[in-house]
Amino acid sequence: MEKQKICIMGLGYIGLPTAVMFATHGHSIVGVDLNESIINTLNNARSTIKEPYLDILVQAAVKSGNLKVKKTPEESDVFIIAVPTPVKADKTADMSCVVAATKAIAPFLREGNLVILESTSPPGTVNEIMVPILAESGLKIGEQLMVAHSPERVLPGRILIELVENNRIIGGINQKSAEMGRDLYKTFVNGEIYLTDVATAEMCKIIENTFRDVNIALANELAMICEKTGVNVWEVIRLSNKHPRVNIHQPGPGVGGHCLAVDPWFIVEKYPEETKIISLARRTNDAMPEHLADKISFILKDISGRKKITVLGITYKPDIGDIRESPIIHLIGLLKQRQDYDISIVDPYVNNSEYKTEDLLSGASESDLIILGVNHKEFASVNFKVVSSVMRNRNLLDTRNFLNGDELERLGFRYYLHGRDYHL
């Protein structure tokens, strides 16, 4: 495909990697973001997001002259919208960034342009929210201006690999819009590209993440049942998954991140009557920190004086630094509300002024309980013999079935496993 000028609105977790992929494959990219510090950092060829290999690609894209970052859009061949679509306190989607980005590009649209929405959005967004704004350009939608939805599907921690390898769905407001989208993404996508209509593409994206959320809720419900039964949920899942058609997900402290913990609400908002399983699953996963807080109160109930808890890992999943919607952060909040615990945090991936981290030995010093919150790979090689020597009481709660319980018990720990031990 000949070189295209592509304007990408929003340079976050999806917009930035997408921009550098297009830029390093020969297209000319205008990246637009409202945040001055993001603009300056990127124009200095430094990445604003921690993601494997992204810094190298940002450098290549900016130094080649193919990626320029600014505050406002300009005339282009293609416009890609990759702005956040968070959920509000009332669990409905906050579409203000999509609306603002669509309004911002409207004055720069010309005949023959393609507008693509990548942000995960409630069903109906393209036709009900975007098309009326785009029509204000005076261009005939579907004839002079093409519009498509190509939902992002990449996994944080593997974004660049998955941008290339994953299959993609592109939904167009008509066949031509979808085909133009396919020709563009083929620049760097090696996976299959499936064409469909916008409403189908919107529904696919939401249900993919909902599928995972519902399955995790089932695993979490099973964990709570197993605790009452005195059975080890991890062993139940391991053995059940030997069945050729069973794939039970992993229980844990809850579901975090900006996707699984958010997207299912978009479908609940639109179809409240029908989404009984989906909303119950969402609430089940959201309640897991509460369940763990009860368990922690139980573990610490006989210890007198002020109690200290050491939390290993506060991110929403392992080996990344992202703490958005992290269930462990919710758990810390609940623990602070319930009792005046001393809480120390150990997390090699987090550098955050609100959540100060400590090194392991000072964090564990005089501690009454270690909680393994996230299974960062670094925690697999912790020397718990040394750690135990600085603790006041040797209790350990493993929320992920990550540590060697037998070994810890040999070292004098009382090892509590989420999904197995809980006797109120």
Residues acting as catalytic residues = 205, 259
Nearest by Cα to 140 from 150, 127, 148, 131: 131
Interface segment toward ligand SAJ; rule CB under 6 A; list 22-30, 54-62, 84-92, 204-212: 204-212
209 binds ligand SAJ (CB under 6 A): yes
Indicate which single residue of 216, 222, 312, 371 sits in contact with ligand SAJ (rule: CB under 6 A). 216
- 122 interacts with ligand SAJ by CB under 6 A: no
Answer yes or no whether residue 85 interacts with ligand SAJ by CB under 6 A. Answer: no
Report the residue from 195, 198, 259, 311 that binds ligand SAJ according to the rule CB under 6 A.
259
Phi, psi of 171 (to 5 degrees): -105, 125
Residue 256 found at the interface with ligand SAJ (CB under 6 A): yes
Determine, following the binding rule CB under 6 A, whether residue 201 of this chain makes contact with ligand SAJ: no
Tokens matching residue 76: 């282009």
Residue 402 burial by Cβ neighbours in a 10 Å radius (0-12, 13-18, 19+): middle
Regarding 260 and contact with ligand SAJ (CB under 6 A), the answer is yes
Pick 171 or 256: Cβ nearer ligand SAJ: 256
Residue nearest to ligand SAJ (CB): 259
Distance CA 22, CA 4 (A): 9
**Please, which residue, 76 or 209, has the CB nearer to ligand SAJ?**
209
DSSP per-residue codes, 336-365: HHHS--EEEEE-TT---SSS-B--HHHHHT
Q: What mask, x for binding ligand SAJ by CB under 6 A, covers residues 315 to 354? A: -xx-------------------------------------
**Residue 33 is a binding residue for ligand SAJ (CB under 6 A):** no
Q: Residue 250, interface with ligand SAJ (CB under 6 A)? A: yes
Q: Is 93 in the site for ligand SAJ (CB under 6 A)?
A: no
Tell the smallest beta-carbon distance from residue 210 to ligand SAJ (Å): 9
Helices (H), 24-141: 36-43, 54-63, 96-105, 131-135
Exposure string for 84-95, b = 16+ CB within 10 A, e = fewer: bbebeeeeebeb
Closer CB to ligand SAJ, residue 155 or residue 161? 155
DSSP 34-47: S-HHHHHHHHTT--
Cβ at position 155, least distance to ligand SAJ in Å: 5
The pair of three-digit structure tokens given for residue 66, joined into one six-digit string: 């193919």
The answer to whether the beta carbons of residues 288 and 399 sit under 8 Å apart is no
Binding status of residue 222 toward ligand SAJ by CB under 6 A: no
Q: Which of 212, 270, 392, 414 binds ligand SAJ (CB under 6 A)?
A: 212
Binding flag, residue 289, ligand SAJ (CB under 6 A):
no
Burial class (CB in 10 A: 0-12, 13-18, 19+), 59: middle
Residue placing its CB nearer to ligand SAJ in the complex, 19 or 300: 19
Of the ranges 187-195, 233-241, 253-261, 298-306, which one interacts with ligand SAJ (CB under 6 A)?
A: 253-261
Cβ closest to ligand SAJ, residue 133 vs residue 218:
218
Per the CB < 8 A criterion, the answer to whether 181 and 116 are in contact is yes
CB atoms within 10 A of CB 12: 18
**312 near ligand SAJ, rule: CB under 6 A:** no
Tell me which residues in 155-194 interact with ligand SAJ (CB under 6 A): 155-156
The C-alpha atoms of residue 99 and residue 109 are separated, in whole angstroms, by 15
Interface positions, 131-160, toward ligand SAJ (CB under 6 A): 152-156
* Per-residue H/E/C for 219-262: HHHHHHHHHHHCCCHHHHHHHHCCCCCCCCCCCCCCCCCCCCCC
Identify which of residues 33 and 51 has a Cβ nearer to ligand SAJ in the complex. 51
Q: Is 199 exposed, middle or buried (0-12, 13-18, 19+ CB in 10 A)?
A: middle
Say whether residue 313 binds ligand SAJ (CB under 6 A): no
193 beta partners:
168
Report the nearest approach of ligand SAJ to the CB of residue 154 (Å).
Answer: 5
Give the residue with the Cβ less far from ligand SAJ, 159 or 335: 159
To 10 degrees, the CA torsion angle through 201, 202, 204, 206?
160
Shortest distance, position 418 Cβ to ligand SAJ, whole Å: 11
Judged by CB under 6 A, does residue 284 bind ligand SAJ?
no
Cα separation, 163 vs 34, in Å, equals: 24
By the criterion CB under 6 A, which residues form the site for ligand SAJ?
120, 152-156, 208-209, 212, 216, 249-250, 252, 255-257, 259-260, 316-317
